[in-house]
Structure 1
Amino acid sequence: MKSFDYIIVGAGIAGLSVAAELAQRGPVLVIEREAHPGFHATGRSAALYAETYGPPVIRALTIASRASMRRRRRGFRKPRC
């Protein structure tokens, strides 16, 4: 049986970010209930650019990322609906 130093519950943006950081320190197990990582809130957040969403600090970060979001990057593609 394999052992892990860390167990993360949830494969959304927060869970996978923490798992990536912890993986530098030891073996990590990520447990996810959904069929795909980032299925709920992460998926909606990544699919929608809304400058009016959230408190002032979130709106400021969103507006600051506008130019980056508009540039097409190799490896990214439009989602299929």
Structure 2
Amino acid sequence: MNRKHIAAATALALVLLVVFGWSALMAAMGHAGLIAGLAPVLGLTVTQVVRGSRSRTAASGHRVAAVPDKEDGAS
């Protein structure tokens, strides 16, 4: 792993720790209704952070070969 991957993994772990720590604190304080209302937002945030940390080529899934124009071979 290079430095960028390590930094991204550390940032992701920190974000997840903050999100789940906040949720645990709210649950301990008795704010279950607040957690239930914000759960979709928290889940979306975590999903976007994970997708953003992956490289662009890994996220696309496949590559398409270039197709030459008809004009290139026409005489």
TM-score between both structures, scaled by the size of structure 1 = 0.26
Report which of the two structures shows the higher radius of gyration computed on alpha carbons. 2
Greater relative contact order (Cα < 8 A, sep 6+): 2
TM-score between both structures, scaled by the size of structure 2 = 0.27
Give 1 or 2: higher helix fraction. Answer: 2
Give 1 or 2: higher strand fraction. Answer: 1
